Amino acid sequence: MNTKEIRIPYDEFEGSENLGARVAELIIKAQNAADLAYAPYSGFYVGVAIELIDGQIFTSNNQENKAYPSGLCAERVGLFFVQANYPDIPIKRMVLVAKQNNKLTEEPVYPCGACRQVMVESAERQELPFEVWMAGKNRVLRIDTPDYLLPLKFLL
C-alpha cells in the first residue's frame, strides 16, 4: 500500500480586498443574478457570473422545481448556456455567490459534485483551465482550475 496526499492550492482574500475591479464587478453581477434565482423550496439563492476570454460576461442562477431533482444549479445553467451559444470562446473565469434571507452568505459556498464534474469537463472541452472564484461576505477564495475542486474526477 502507498499512502498519497492531494493538496489544493488556493488564494484567500479577506472581504473584498485586492480583488481587482473586474472580479469585484463579477461578484456584484453574480449577486444580482442570485436575486433572480428561483429557489422557493430551499431559500438558497445562488448566482454565477462567467467571463469569457473575449470579455463578454454572462450570469445565471439556480432554478428549483417541485419535481426534485428536476431543478438545476447556477453553475450548470451558466456553463451549459455558454457552451451552447459560444462554444468557440473559452471561459476565463467563473464567480459563484450564494444568498440566504436576502443576504450574501458569510462564507463562500462551494459547487456540488455534479457541478464540479461539469466545470472540469468544460475546461477540458476548451483545452484551457479557467479560474473559479467563490465569494462570501467574510472572504473570497480563488482557484486556478476546476481540477482543484475535483482532483479525483470521473474519467472514461
More confident residue, 153 or 39: 39
Q: For the domain that residue 67 is a member of, what is the CATH number? A: 3.40.140.10
Q: Whole-angstrom Cα distance, residue 52 to residue 56?
A: 5
Q: Whole-angstrom Cα distance, residue 98 to residue 30?
A: 9
Domain that holds residue 87: 11-149
Given a cut of 80, whether residue 105 has pLDDT beyond it is yes
Evaluated on CA atoms 11, 61, 93, 110, the torsion sign reads positive
In a domain, 3, yes or no: no
Amino acid at 30: A
Section 136-141 average pLDDT = 96
In a domain, 4, yes or no: no
Task: List active site positions.
Answer: 75
In a domain, 1, yes or no: no
Query: What does the pLDDT look like over 21-30, one tens digit per residue?
Result: 999 999 999 9
Our count of domains for the chain comes to: 1
Given a cut of 80, whether residue 110 has pLDDT beyond it is yes
The residue written with cell numbers 472541452 in the block is 125
Report the b/e string of 84-114 with b at 16+ CB within 10 A.
eeeeeebbbbbbbbbbeeeebbeebbebeee
Polymer length in residues for the chain = 156
Q: Whole-angstrom Cα distance, residue 78 to residue 88?
A: 15
In a domain, 132, yes or no: yes
In a domain, 156, yes or no: no
In a domain, 67, yes or no: yes
C-alpha cell at 37: 434565482
Q: What are residue 129's phi and psi, to 5 degrees?
A: -70, 160
Query: What does the pLDDT look like over 38-64, one tens digit per residue?
Result: 999 999 999 999 999 999 999 999 999
- What predicted TM-score, i.e. pTM, was given to this entire model? 0.94
